[in-house]
Structure 1
Amino acid sequence: MSKTIDPENLNGYQKAAIFLMYMGEEYTTQVFSRMKEQEIGEVAFEMSKVDQITPDILKIVCADFNVKYEGDPKMIVEGDSFIKNVVTATLKDKEAKAILEDLERKKQARPFIWSRNVNTGTLSAYIQGEHPQTIAMILAHMPAEIASEIMMNLQDELKGDIAMRIARLGQISEDVVRDVDKALKYELSGAVGPGGKAGGIEVLVDIINGVDKSTEDAVMEYVEEDDAEMANEIRKLMFVFDDLTNVDDTAMREILKKVEGQQLTYALKTATEDMKAKIFANLSQRAGEMLKDDLDAMGPVRLTEVEEAQQAVVRAAKELEADGTITLGKGKDDVLV
């Protein structure tokens, strides 16, 4: 549950899952007995994602916990056995079996989701020793933002090769995906449709959209030399900073809410006049004046800092799209008419 989830923005089911696991099986059984089956299923699903509960999260959910556990880095919990014991003690056999089977299907639909809770440097070190085809399979099944960070950490001579393998990756056996997922998670434990997801160009594009400029250039240069037609197709699908001029004003205002002021200032350092006009048109008069003053006062900055800021803006946009808040086109060929 502590995997990249903001403790200040936990939803009701997440809070209930944390609190009940803290209170114990007997207490949870009593609570479940008063809940609807659908509610039990939702809370149980959130419980299944809990590997550890940090004091910071418990402080939000249960005010007394910080006093009792202060100094402990985390509390290890056995989510699966906890859920099974509580659900089977609360519901009839048939109903409990249905919830547990549904829960297992949901969990299997999220291979490598645990990678969000692992230091990407550590994860990269483990993965780099694998065969390039195995690395490609792992990255294709990971959350795109984690795969992007790992791609940046790979040796430069590997990046292009891995990218090509991801783009050409076919259907992977469910058993293979599950075995690699479990093995890698086990190796890192100390420091989900049925799987079988294919790779492909769209998977690669999602990864490239999150990497830094040098990694993007290395990947695209390799792809261009190996398969110019594929490189052209990738570019058509990629969403880059300049594509933000094509989003509607409502979406742009949502994006600007997520971007820090300094990031926006740096991002506009080399922006086109069209992009600047788009940004200023969606800021309040006061905010626009402040941004203009910051731009005028800004001295020379490294190009890498500007590119990083622009990528941060793109990531904010992609996160909003993933949440369903806005809709983005995947490149200039996707503009609606």
Structure 2
Amino acid sequence: MSVASEAATRQAPSGVMSRTDRAAVFLTLLGEEEAANLLARMGPSELQRLGRAMCALGEVGQDGIAEALADFVTEAEREVLPARDRSAEMRRLLERSLGPTKAESMMRRIEPEARPRTIEIARWLAPAVLVHLIEEEHPQVIAALLLMLEPEPAAEVLSGLPGAQQSLVVERIARIGPVSTRAIEMIDRLLTQRIGASFGADALALGGPREAANLINLAAGEVRNVVLPAIAQRDPPLAEAIEEELFTFEMLFTLDPQAMGRLLRDVDNEKLVDALKGLSKQEREPFFAAMSSRAADGIKDEIELRGRLARSEVEAAQRAIVEIARQLADEGEIVIGDDSGEFV
């Protein structure tokens, strides 16, 4: 705003106060920060004249205030506000007043046509998917992202993280200060990369049988048995398309020893023990057949020594292994299913 500085230098019009006095009154009506921002734009001579006028002001009545404001309005009518990025300007103002996180939320309400950030897309992902995307990131990054989610899914994501990581994330949530715009942009880029790497380059277009199948594969409980029959009643071809994209843990039983060996190289022993704990001895054989006798005996011993596991723990380990198998299949390193190409 240059009106105040210009007002201090122009010849005074007819009236009770000089133009400099009117500028001085106008500045006193502003808050300290706003007045300081205006003063910072002036030169030394302007500051000297205006500062002298402000120090000399006595009590200013309603007429004086009205005269100063009227002069400001007159000057403003001569001004033209240049075209610029209003969204960016509004975002900066909101960040100063509300903080980056709340400012981002408010901008989504007042700027509905803006391109959604990947962070916004992340709000719609299942917590298990988010865990898969961020579990290897620094606890500070995870903490910042969780603060941008609704409390319930954020809590589910936290529960899905490894136990040792949970305390680090919670500690940073408790200590975290303002999240800068640069940090938000960094998290946005990170999620874009992670989603693209996990679900393909076109993942941000969203939708499709593959994405639906990925979510079902990662979901806990009887989601598959509930969701697919319901979809089949409304849209049988769509249900069939999703079914074709689904990988199940049982599909791994048909892997040949070479493919199974490739899969097991990427599977953590703890997850493997948990996953096999819920299988019968016969169902475990395809896994043991791909190992050396010594390695197979070691896994068998660990299974026997492992205490009772909740069904949810077994299923979580199996889902994690299925996800690894899916990635290897997408990369062409293994084939799941028959050789017809239905699952590649």
- Give the TM-score range, shorter chain: 0.3 to 0.5
Answer 1 or 2: higher relative contact order, Cα 8 Å, separation at least 6. Answer: 1
TM-score of the aligned structures, taking structure 2 as reference length: 0.40
Structure whose CA Rg is larger: 2
